């Protein structure tokens, strides 16, 4: 074989690595960050990267100076599981997209669909390249490959896990790519945005996107963000039977105050219930009255959604919480994760503000998602569930797709509305006739307490309102025993997409 040709290939490959790019390394350090290849190395299992298009460049010349054309693409292992990944290289033409590097990405999408491998995008680029050899549309590059960026991610939605990690400034199509992924992480100082009609760059901090639910997690720095991606991908690996209970599990009942009016942090309940150090909360800054958490239960991946009594809305379901729950249910259903719900819910938010936010439409979304799910669901009512609250948390009472197991803790209370609110209807005349406000309050509370006694604790079990009313510290064993009887189900075809709202 011609030694001159071989030498040219060797030299080109050597020029693409970080050791040969001292300027790129210095610029990354000046920004306080990592190079694109360092990011890839931190994410993946050691020595597992197989690169695609390492020698691609902006031009077709032998002396091209744009390594990998600004987009590092390939396959690797994470926790021993195959993935495909692409990393924008900010030090090559601002990490912009070209026809050439988007054809590399399309190649990865093709492999991901065929092999059902997760897709990871490490984003830090300025969108379409303005001086590409093939002029792009103003916002994004339309690939001549099988998939473009947008239709590729749309095609993979609900079929394979897609993950975005925003590690710098992202503009235009890079921003859109992050929004199209199932799971999006960003570093604290990331900027996300687009160019306006005059070409001016308009960005906002990633934290603002997190508050709107567009970003699932904000991490302090690049290593933390990449670790969060690895942790998320770990839930996609095969289930095991090696999970260990949390140290707090034996005292899980003590988390719930004796005073039924006192709030508590549902995150503590979830952490105590799940395997030790196994929880990952999604979208914590959005829809704060609803918690959505991936976790392990005896080594098996589960999705946990729960009301948060310590939220400003005391666990009531507003439009954000309804959307957050429905999207989480769809995500878990698409990838075969059983669901567990913890219920302590005073109902849906009502009133002019809720109606102006479209509650009439949004409240139906978790109901529909629960109805169409294929994975098993176990529900645990901890304290209250009023109105349509239990329906949104488990499909309880009317769904043809009822929970596999409906459990309650002894302090449970249920009703069509709050018992205090019901008192104002049933005892309205007596309350209005009361001589003092103290007497009116006594009448209300006496009625509420009497009704509570007929619908809570042992009486709820006697009436078969639940499959069982149990001691809190037996919850983990009861649910895991049921889930062990149903293996994780993977779908031959995509069951449905995952709503991006």
pLDDT per residue as tens digits for the range 427-450: 667 767 777 877 777 767 666 666
Domain limits for position 305: 249-412+456-483
Structural domain contains residue 468: yes
**498 found inside a domain:** no
Among 79-93, 308-322, 442-456, 458-472, name the one with the lowest average pLDDT.
442-456
Q: Are residues 214 and 321 in the same domain?
A: no
d(CA 34, CA 223): 9
In a domain, residue 241? The reply is: no
Residues 53 and 160 reside in one and the same domain: yes
Average of per-residue pLDDT across 105-113: 93
Task: Give this prediction's pTM.
Answer: 0.88
Question: Between β-strands 300-307 and 280-282, what pairing exists: parallel, antiparallel or unpaired?
Answer: unpaired
Please identify, among 234, 267, 282, the residue that sits at the C-terminal boundary of a domain: 234
Look at 215 and 138; give whichever has higher pLDDT. Answer: 215
| 341 and 204 in a common domain | no
Task: Decide: 27 and 91 in contact? Cβ < 8 Å.
Answer: yes
Count Cβ neighbours within 10 Å for each residue of 185-216 and write b for 16 or more, e otherwise.
Answer: bbbebbbbbbbeeeeeeebebbeebbeebbbb
On the 0-12 / 13-18 / 19+ scale of CB atoms within 10 A, 287 is: buried
pLDDT given at position 206: 95
Q: Note whether residue 492 is domain-resident.
A: no
Tens digits of per-residue pLDDT, 462-488? Answer: 778 889 999 999 999 999 999 999 988
Please indicate, yes or no, whether residues 128 and 257 belong to a single structural domain of this protein. Answer: no
Residue 293, C-beta contacts closer than 8 angstroms, at least 6 positions apart: 270, 274, 279, 280, 281, 282, 303, 304, 305, 306
Which of these ranges, 98-107, 268-277, 343-352, has the smallest mean pLDDT?
343-352
Q: Which range is least confidently modeled, 136-145, 199-208, 412-421? A: 136-145
- Write down the pLDDT at residue 145: 47
Q: How far apart are CA 290 and CA 389, in angstroms?
A: 12
Q: Looking at 14-28, 168-182, 478-492, which range is the least confident one?
A: 14-28
Mean pLDDT comparison of 19-23, 196-200, 246-250, highest-scoring range: 246-250
8 A C-beta contact, residue 268 and residue 248: yes
Name the domain boundary from 234, 267, 291.
234
**Range scoring the smallest mean pLDDT among 37-46, 313-322, 327-336, 392-401:** 392-401
Does 136 share its domain with 162?
yes
Please check whether residues 178 and 257 belong to one and the same domain: no
Confidence of residue 33 (pLDDT cuts 50, 70, 90): confident
Q: Which residue has the higher pLDDT, 445 or 251?
A: 251
Same domain, 339 and 448: no
Number of domains into which the chain is organized: 3
Over 90: is that where the pLDDT of 360 sits? no
Question: Are 370 and 317 found together in one domain?
Answer: yes
State both tokens at 314.
Answer: 């005391």
With respect to residue 499, please indicate whether it lies within any of the assigned structural domains.
Answer: no
321 and 448 within one domain: no
Contact in structure between 187 and 229 (CB atoms under 8 Å): no
**Averaged pLDDT, 13-34:** 66
Which DSSP category does 329 fall into?
H
* Co-location of 378 and 230 in the same domain: no
CA separation for the pair 284, 451 (Å, rounded): 35
Q: In this structure, is residue 501 part of a structural domain?
A: no
175 Ramachandran zone, left/alpha/beta (phi>0; psi -120 to 50): alpha
Q: Is residue 221 in some structural domain? A: yes
β-pairing, 377-386 with 405-408?
Answer: parallel
Domain CATH code at residue 326: 3.90.226.10
Q: Are 184 and 210 in contact (CB under 8 A)?
A: no
9 and 133 share a domain? yes
496 in a structural domain: no
Contact of 213 with 184, CB cutoff 8 Å: no
For residue 393, is pLDDT > 70? Answer: yes
Confidence of residue 153 (pLDDT cuts 50, 70, 90): very high
Judgement on whether residues 184 and 299 belong to the same structural domain of the protein = no
């Amino acid at each position: 074989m011609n030694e001159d040709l071989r030498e040219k290939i060797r030299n080109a490959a050597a020029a693409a690595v970080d050791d040969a790019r001292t300027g790129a390394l210095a610029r990354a350090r000046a920004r306080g960050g990592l190079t694109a290849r360092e990011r890839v190395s931190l994410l993946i299992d050691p020595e597992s990267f197989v690169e695609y298009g390492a020698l691609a460049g902006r031009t077709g010349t032998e002396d091209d100076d744009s390594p990998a054309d600004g987009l590092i693409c390939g396959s690797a292992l994470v926790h021993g599981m195959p993935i495909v990944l692409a990393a924008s290289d900010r030090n090559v033409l601002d990490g912009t997209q070209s026809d050439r590097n988007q054809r590399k990405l399309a190649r990865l999408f093709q492999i991901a669909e065929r092999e059902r491998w997760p897709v990871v995008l490490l984003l830090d680029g300025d969108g379409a390249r303005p001086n590409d050899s093939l002029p792009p549309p103003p916002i994004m590059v339309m690939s001549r490959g099988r998939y473009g960026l947008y239709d590729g991610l749309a095609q993979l939605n609900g079929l394979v896990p897609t993950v975005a990690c925003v590690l710098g400034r992202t503009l235009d199509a890079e921003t859109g790519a992050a929004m199209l992924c199932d799971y999006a992480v960003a570093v604290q100082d990331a900027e996300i945005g687009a160019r306006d009609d005059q070409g001016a760059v308009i960005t906002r901090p990633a934290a603002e996107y997190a508050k709107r639910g567009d970003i699932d997690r904000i991490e302090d720095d690049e290593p933390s963000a990449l670790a969060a991606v690895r942790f998320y991908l770990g839930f996609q690996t095969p289930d095991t039977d090696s999970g260990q209970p949390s140290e707090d599990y034996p005292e899980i009942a003590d988390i719930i105050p004796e005073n039924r009016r006192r709030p508590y942090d549902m995150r503590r309940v979830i952490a105590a219930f799940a395997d030790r150090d196994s929880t990952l909360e999604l979208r914590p800054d959005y829809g704060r009255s609803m918690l959505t958490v991936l976790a392990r239960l005896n080594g098996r991946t589960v999705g946990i959604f729960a009301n948060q009594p310590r939220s400003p809305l005391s666990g009531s379901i507003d439009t954000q919480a309804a959307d957050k729950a429905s999207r989480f249910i769809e995500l878990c259903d698409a990838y075969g994760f059983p669901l567990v719900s913890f219920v302590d819910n005073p109902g849906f938010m009502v009133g002019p503000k809720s109606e102006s936010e479209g509650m009439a439409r949004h409240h139906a979304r978790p109901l529909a998602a629960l109805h169409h799910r294929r994975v098993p669901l176990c529900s645990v009512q901890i304290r209250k569930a009023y109105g349509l609250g239990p329906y949104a948390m488990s499909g309880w009472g009317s769904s043809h797709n009822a929970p596999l197991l409906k459990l309650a803790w002894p302090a449970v209370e249920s009703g069509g509305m709050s018992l205090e609110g019901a008192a104002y209807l049933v005892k309205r005349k007596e309350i209005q006739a009361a001589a003092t406000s103290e007497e009116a309050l006594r009448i209300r509370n006496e009625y509420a307490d009497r009704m509570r006694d007929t619908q809570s604790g042992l009486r709820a079990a006697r009436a078969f309102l639940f499959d069982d009313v149990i001691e809190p510290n037996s919850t983990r064993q009861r649910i895991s025993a049921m889930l062990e009887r149903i293996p994780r189900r993977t779908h031959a075809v995509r069951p449905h997409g995952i709503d991006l709202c």
